[in-house]
Structure 1
């Protein structure tokens, strides 16, 4: 089951007896466990009926002893096991058998939540094979980079706030796929903005701490349109602000751009809608790709990718000589554009 469906059921007060939340992405696990902790019981009921355990300190027998208790002056009790991946006997036959036996006959008045972070269950073992059938489970996977814009748009939509496409792309690129940090930056942005209306790239730049004019998106656009003057200004800014601007991620960003351009160059139809669909980018971003394809044929794109690979190696100390990161980046952009 996905996180949205689980949250929707919880908000409708449809509770399952056991939730097993696992996977590499902790954000969704914390989101669901946090909702259960805050909302299933009233404040008056929590004192006697809500228990938070930590896996390292709690063998399975201890956890299930709590789970088999009955609530006191309440309809249900909540037992949350944080860091369940550290339960000492979870991956042993004794512990997994105890849990499987409980899952066959769970106490209906208990909401038992396992927060098993950073890794999945071993699907070769009995528990891994049966858990999805016997509990409400979430396999919380890391989002790919191309999934981040949709996550950001949905996060704003859930809060009844609109955001411009470029602002979405800036958040995705500059914050990345650490969802806890990403949502924290968005929450701070929403808290600090005084005016209403649609969230702009200027507001995002101010919150994230990047220049509105001299950033990697504007450099990408300058390269796409052949604006050598603007590209030179941005590179100069990067070169003089290496503490604020990470050069290696900037090269990685341009490498991704050129790699996607090479894919787009092989499309039979190169209109912006087709490009956006094929590359899984926003229609706003597709404009840069469309413009760049007018300047770069397949041969130039292949050469650009080769230059980017070479620069990446130089920035990591391979055949870089005495050149600074800023100098390597300046030469890279010059050679790509000429």
Structure 2
């Protein structure tokens, strides 16, 4: 089942005897298990009918014994097995899975990796359990996820602000959701979140960030580029050189691709460049005017070289000032 299908069933109070939640992305697993933990039973019912076990401490016999109990003055009992990836005898739950108790809701949370279902245990799960694989998002999917997440607070967000949050917080959705929750508390319903809101509530600068650096380089604005790179050098933990170079590689790769695709219809051009809206196209159009195809190719080669240097390959950073490598790279890009 999909995440949305499971959520819809839970809201309708349609429960299943076994849920097996597994995969790379912990966030979706936590949302489902937290809902089952907090919304199936009343506070009074939980005392006798809810048990939380941890894979490192429990074995299959303990889980089975607890799951076979009958609920006391409640329609169900809820048994949550957290960190199930740590349970050495997890596969030995096959016997219970094949014949689960109808009055128990067993929730198995197997995080940080997809479970191989090609086994007797996996076959039993496929037949008797609700299985959900929690897959991580790609970088370019996070801004849309942010927009959808904020709808629960009746908040909108500008594309640049969503991109800024996604770029700096990455694909770890629990971390992103936590920052969005904190920001939402301070904003009125109906607000459209801007880069100024992001700077104020999350602490990501609206003027000194990777998108402003890309824009400055794309415009060949040496003064603005120098200011941003110096800010990055002064705040290396917020702006690691390796991450900055990776982002610039993506930017100039799109400029390179733009030269081949610039005559395509806009919708097809957006797909080719993997851009979500025409709002972003103006920066690439302008940058393509300043960097011809050969220059864009030359910069990509340069970025590959400096990516290796930033990781210590053919480069000794001993005795060199923080950010020196990035300053050198920016100067070379501007003078290609």
TM normalised by structure 1 equals 0.91
Q: Structure 1 residue aligned with 2:253, among 239, 254, 259?
A: 259
Aligned residue number for residue 242 of structure 2: 248
Which residue of structure 2 lines up, in the alignment, with residue 337 of structure 1? Answer: 334
Are the counterparts in 2 of residues 222 and 231 from structure 1 also a CA contact under 8 Å? yes
Residue pair 2:153, 2:189 contacting (<8 A) in 1 also:
no
Q: Is the Cα contact below 8 Å between 1:272 and 1:286 reproduced in 2? A: no
Contact 2:232 2:239 in 1 (8 A): yes
Counterpart CA distance in 2 for 1:154 and 1:240 is: 34
C-alpha distance 107-240 of structure 1, shift in aligned 2 (>3 A): closer
> Does the 8 Å CA contact 2:97/2:124 hold for their aligned counterparts?
no
2:25 equivalent to 1:25: yes
Q: For the Cα contact (< 8 Å) 2:234–2:322, is it kept in 1?
A: no
Q: Any idea what SS the aligned residue of 1:52 has? A: strand
- Aligned: 1:327 with 2:324: yes
Aligned counterpart in structure 2 of residue 165 of structure 1, from 156, 159, 163: 159
Unaligned runs of 5+ in 1: none
| Residue 295 (structure 1) aligns with | 290
Match of 1:77 in 2: 77
8 Å contact kept, 1:77–1:111:
yes
Q: Do the aligned partners of residues 76 and 204 (structure 1) sit closer, same or farther apart at CA in structure 2, a change above 3 Å counting?
A: same
Change (3 A) 1:90 1:219: same
The equivalent residue for 1:113 is 107
Cα deviation, residue 267, structure 1: 2.3
How many residues get paired?
332
> What SS does the corresponding residue of 1:202 show, helix, strand or coil?
helix
CA distance in 1, matches of 2:236, 2:6: 44
Cα deviation 1:36-72 (Å, max 9, x = unaligned):
0000111111111111111122221221221122211
2:63 corresponds in structure 1 to: 63
Change (3 A) 1:130 1:73: closer
The counterpart of 2:207, out of the listed 175, 197, 213, is 213
1:150 aligned residue:
144
Cα distance change, pair 103–242 in 1 and its aligned pair in 2 (3 A): closer
- Residue 103 in 1 paired to residue 100 in 2? no
Q: Is contact 2:29-2:134 (8 Å) kept?
A: yes
Gaps of 5+ in 2: none
Question: What CA distance in whole angstroms lies between the structure 2 residues aligned with 1:226 and 1:313?
Answer: 24
Asked if the contact 1:247–1:325 (Cα under 8 Å) also holds between the matched residues in 2, the reply is: no
Q: TM-score, normalised by structure 2?
A: 0.91
> Which segment is superposed worse, 251-260 or 268-277?
268-277
Residue pair 2:71, 2:103 contacting (<8 A) in 1 also: yes
Do the aligned residues in 1 keep the contact of 2:153 with 2:184 (CA within 8 Å)? no
Q: Within 2, Cα distance between the matches of 1:320 and 1:86? A: 41
